[in-house]
């Protein structure tokens, strides 16, 4: 496969300081054989994959809330664009213009632009031909009849994963329709797994609505030059030299099909003109790449290009998918493709993904961490809003499962906050999660709260802190206070717990929970004095501070003090995580600036599992510890994980998950950021783990609602680091 990278240079003006930043387009000088050579695109709510084959251009349409009756996240559908006499050939050029947020496909006869509207759930397709041609666009669906999932597909629905026999709920067929010279297709859910799942979770009324039953999703297509024919297509009656197509992709809960058609048609009719939409889209994406950027170069030119390209394409993926009311799916996001080329799968439809519909916190969180430094804070808020909306479920689970006050977040949750049926009680008559990997993981709410404190430190969003983070914190701390026992020394003791998915047996005071409590207490005690904390929460913080046990340690075989997975634990392992390193990431209690740096480095060096792909965080932990050579090597290994069967640079995986593997790309992005910039306790550290023989031009967000930029080249600062806030305290390491 041929791939050419064209460099576009644009000027960023910041406080009268000119910064030239080179941002690469992704260009393929060939036609695609199939969807494995497709470009992902989107506006954060609607998205898709687009590619050109010899017989036409194809687009998958999707959103983060196209949920079936089973809760599976499906594609909305597929389109085929055909232009008579203009078949694509080897002269085809397919280009993703990252700066302007537009995909352009062209040859000597025509040019087509595709992008997602920056303000509405609409996808635009604009074409211009040298000679008049007949143009048609055809919706394509593959869910043509109501059916149960076959055995090969069960992994894509976690409710079904361990279910034997005929499942009582089926997925319905998609329906074609036409209305007012527009046409489209929709999927409507008459049934739902909601009641089935609650029953198997021993929950009656969680106070969160069924997100599946009554949901209608799909697409509606209209065009200025194309009209509805007798078949299910829009086509031009006569040859035309240009055309504009609008596609509204909507998903509406509790909506019958007729009302869905009316509301979706209204979306189409409310849109602006193409020229207005494309101008707004360019402004939106220009602002994204002006806000923060990264360009790394190395003596080996291809390595520097690959690092920069991987970082930028991963950011593109997350921003294209991340503004929905539902989180980014770690296992393929909304860009899954037919899986014949993934693990030799036999379930050949683009709705399939491993690990199904649930949100697994340890995986779900990872795409959001790079957004702190990239300044994409509104996407972090969308994640928090989702979990905050499920607080009634989390409170009910704390009461029913643990006899505790407050709220607790399970490691894996459905869209309404419960365990999937296959994780909890399916086929049993007693309360208790059956999935040993996740049933006693407790630190998830502490990770969420700590992330939201970081969000506050970076964004300065006091309103969100007061209205969301602080109320959630009180509920979560209430759980730990009421659930933990108190030992003879007056310290909290977490029993009936585990240390991530790795250590299951005999665990007391697991490192993730203890480190998380230490981090959250520190978060509260370092708040400015003008932040209002309720008196009841102050009491809980004081209680936890006084009752917290120390961070667990052990002595390794070399006699070095290192972090331990728990205070007490059986050494049998059941997965490949290193929970002792959570005191470094995500809780940041140990890093290259802290007194216990040697303990952190020794802990990293003697970690039980050395992994270079998927959700493993070795690369970023090494960077946080200032271990330059380790971090560099881990990043270079991680870069090689790109799947050769899939052409887009950030389609990593499948690893443990699916393609694109959001965990792999995100941990790579975090590690690359941490080479360049880290912030602790009011100080900004530049190049704390950056290889001396690499060059970098960057602009990143730092705490205090500020940005720092500069250029380091050939061993010196050629553009002295600056900040847009005088209060920013910058320390250059190299």
DSSP 56-91: EEEEEEEETT-B-TT--B---EEEEEEETT----TT
Residue 639 and residue 345 in contact, taking contact as beta carbons nearer than 8 Å: no
Per DSSP, the residues of 18-35 read: EEEEEEE-EEE-S--SSG
30 close to 92: Cβ distance less than 8 angstroms: yes
**Domain co-membership, 285 together with 338:** no
Q: What pLDDT, on the 0 to 100 scale, is given for residue 734?
A: 78
Q: Is the peptide bond before 579 cis (omega within 30 degrees of 0)?
A: no
- Residue-wise pLDDT for 161-179, tens only, equals 666 667 788 999 999 999 8
Backbone angles phi, psi at 293, to 5 degrees: -160, 165
Q: Let me know whether 270 and 326 are in one domain.
A: no
Outline where DSSP puts E strands in 209-271.
Answer: 216-223, 227-228, 234-235, 240-252
Provide the domain count of the chain.
2
Domain shared by 52 and 170, yes or no:
yes
User: Hey, what's the torsion of the CAs at 604, 607, 612, 614, to 10 degrees?
Assistant: -110
Residue 698 above 80 pLDDT?
yes
pLDDT score recorded for residue 448: 98
CATH number of the domain within which 208 lies: 2.70.98.50
Phi, psi of 567 (to 5 degrees): -70, -40
Pair 4, 100 in one domain: no
Residue where a domain stops, chosen among 256, 289, 322: 289
Those residues with Cβ within 8 angstroms of residue 347's Cβ, 6 or more apart along the chain or in another chain? 150, 152, 153, 156, 339
Boundaries of domain holding 305:
1-29+292-366+610-734
Do 111 and 188 fall into the same domain? Answer: yes
Residue 116 lies in a domain: yes
CB 130 within 8 A of CB 252: no
Instruction: Tell me the Cα Rg of the chain.
Output: 26
pLDDT > 50? residue 7: no
**Residue 354 and residue 264 in one domain:** no
What the block records as the tokens of 520 is 């959250």
Residue 521 belongs to some domain of the structure: no
- Tell me the pLDDT tens digit for each residue of 340-364: 666 555 556 899 998 989 999 999 9
Report pLDDT for 165: 65
Q: What is the pLDDT of residue 47?
A: 98
Inside any domain, residue 424: no
pTM: 0.94
For residue 590, what are its two tokens?
């140990």
Q: What is the pLDDT of residues 392-419, one digit of tens each?
A: 999 999 999 999 999 999 999 999 999 9
Verify that 171 and 53 share a domain, yes or no: yes
pLDDT in tens, 56-72: 999 999 999 999 999 99
Q: Is residue 468 situated within a structural domain?
A: no
User: Would 68 be classed as within a structural domain?
Assistant: yes
**CA distance linking residue 491 with residue 513, whole number of Å:** 14
Is 544 among the domain residues?
no
Is the pLDDT reported for residue 429 higher than 90?
Answer: no
Q: Are 430 and 403 in contact (CB under 8 A)?
A: no
Residues 207, 142 share a domain: yes
Q: Does one domain contain both 212 and 236?
A: yes
End residue of a domain, out of 250, 269, 289: 289
Whether residues 133 and 211 share a domain: the answer is yes
**Chosen domain end from 263, 289, 315:** 289
- How many Cα atoms occupy the beta-carbon half-sphere of 460 within 13 Å? 7
Half-sphere exposure at residue 328, Cβ-oriented, CA atoms within 13 angstroms: 35
Question: Are residue 244 and residue 148 in the same domain, yes or no?
Answer: yes
Domain membership flag for residue 423:
no
Write phi, then psi, for 188 (nearest 5 degrees).
Answer: -120, 130
Is there a domain that residue 696 lies in? yes
pLDDT in tens, 540-555: 999 999 999 999 999 9
Helix (H, G, I), strand (E, B) or coil at 265: helix
Q: What share of the chain is helix, strand, coil (3-state, %, to 5)?
A: 30, 25, 45
Residues 77 and 109 in one domain: yes
Q: Which residues of 496-521 are buried (b: 16+ CB within 10 A; e: fewer)?
A: ebbbbbbbbeebbbbbbbbbbbbbbb
Read off the pLDDT of residues 178-187 as tens digits, 9 standing for 90 and up. Answer: 987 899 999 9
């Amino acid at each position: 496969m041929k791939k050419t990278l064209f460099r576009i240079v644009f000027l960023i003006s910041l406080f009268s300081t000119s910064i030239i930043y080179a941002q690469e387009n992704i260009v393929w000088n060939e036609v695609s054989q199939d969807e494995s050579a497709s470009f992902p695109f989107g506006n954060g709510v609607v998205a898709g994959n687009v590619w050109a084959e010899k017989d036409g251009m194809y687009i998958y349409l999707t959103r983060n809330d196209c949920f079936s009756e089973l809760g599976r996240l499906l594609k909305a559908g597929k389109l085929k664009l055909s232009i008579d006499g203009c078949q694509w050939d080897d002269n085809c050029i397919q280009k993703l213009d990252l700066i302007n947020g537009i995909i352009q496909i062209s040859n000597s006869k025509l040019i087509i632009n595709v992008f997602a509207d920056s303000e509405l759930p609409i996808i635009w397709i604009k074409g211009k031909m040298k000679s008049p041609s007949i143009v048609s666009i055809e919706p394509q669906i593959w869910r043509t009849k109501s059916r149960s999932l076959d055995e090969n597909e069960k992994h894509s629905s976690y409710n079904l994963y361990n279910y034997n026999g005929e499942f009582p709920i089926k997925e319905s067929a998609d329906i074609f329709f036409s209305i007012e010279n527009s046409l489209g297709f929709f999927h409507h859910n008459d049934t739902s797994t909601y009641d089935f799942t609650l029953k198997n979770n021993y929950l009656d009324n969680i106070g969160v609505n069924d997100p599946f039953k009554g949901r209608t999703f799909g697409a509606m297509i209209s065009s200025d030059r194309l009209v509805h024919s007798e078949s299910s297509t829009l086509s031009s009656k006569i040859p035309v030299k240009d055309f504009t197509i609008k596609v509204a992709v909507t998903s509406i809960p509790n909506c019958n099909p007729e009302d869905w058609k009316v509301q979706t048609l209204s979306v189409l009719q409310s849109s602006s003109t193409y020229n207005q939409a494309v101008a707004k889209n360019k402004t939106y994406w220009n602002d994204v790449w002006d806000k923060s950027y990264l360009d790394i170069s190395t003596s080996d030119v291809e390595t520097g290009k690959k690092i920069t390209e991987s970082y930028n394409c991963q950011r593109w993926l997350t921003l294209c998918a991340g503004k929905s009311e539902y989180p980014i799916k770690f296992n393929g996001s909304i860009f899954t493709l037919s899986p014949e080329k993934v693990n030799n799968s036999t379930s050949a439809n683009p709705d399939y993904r491993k690990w199904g519909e649930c949100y697994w916190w340890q995986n779900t969180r990872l795409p959001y961490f790079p957004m702190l430094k990239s300044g994409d804070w509104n996407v972090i808020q969308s994640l928090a809003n989702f979990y905050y909306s499920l607080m009634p479920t989390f409170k009910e689970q704390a009461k029913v499962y643990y006899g505790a006050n407050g709220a607790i977040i399970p490691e894996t949750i459905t869209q309404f906050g419960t365990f999937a049926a296959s994780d909890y009680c399916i086929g049993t008559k007693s309360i208790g999660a059956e999935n040993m990997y996740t049933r006693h993981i407790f630190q998830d709410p502490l990770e969420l709260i700590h992330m939201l404190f970081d969000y506050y430190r970076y964004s300065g969003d006091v309103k969100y802190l007061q209205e969301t983070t602080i109320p959630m914190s009180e509920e979560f701390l209430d759980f730990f206070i009421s659930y933990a026992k108190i030992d003879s020394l007056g310290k909290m003791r977490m029993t009936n717990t585990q240390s991530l998915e790795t250590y299951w047996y005999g665990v007391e005071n697991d490192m993730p929970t203890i480190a998380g409590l230490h981090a959250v207490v520190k978060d509260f005690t370092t708040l400015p004095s003008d932040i209002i904390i309720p008196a009841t929460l102050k009491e809980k913080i004081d209680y936890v501070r006084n009752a917290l046990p120390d961070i667990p340690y052990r002595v390794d075989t070399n006699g070095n003090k290192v972090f331990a997975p728990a205070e007490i634990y059986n050494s049998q392992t059941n997965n490949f995580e290193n929970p002792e390193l959570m005191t470094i990431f995500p809780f940041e209690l140990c890093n290259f600036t802290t007194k216990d740096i040697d303990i952190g480095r020794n802990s990293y060096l003697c970690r039980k599992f050395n992994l270079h792909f998927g959700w493993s965080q070795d690369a970023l932990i090494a960077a946080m510890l200032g271990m330059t050579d380790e971090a560099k090597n881990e990043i270079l290994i991680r870069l090689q994980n790109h799947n050769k069967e899939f052409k887009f640079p950030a389609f990593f995986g499948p690893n443990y998950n699916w393609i694109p593997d959001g965990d792999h790309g995100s941990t790579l992005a975090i590690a690359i950021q941490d080479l360049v910039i880290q912030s602790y306790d009011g100080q900004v550290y530049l190049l704390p783990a950056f290889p001396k023989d690499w060059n970098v031009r960057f602009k990143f967000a730092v705490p205090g609602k500020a940005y720092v930029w500069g250029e380091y080249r050939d061993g010196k600062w050629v553009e002295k680091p600056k900040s847009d806030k005088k209060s920013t305290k910058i320390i250059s390491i190299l």
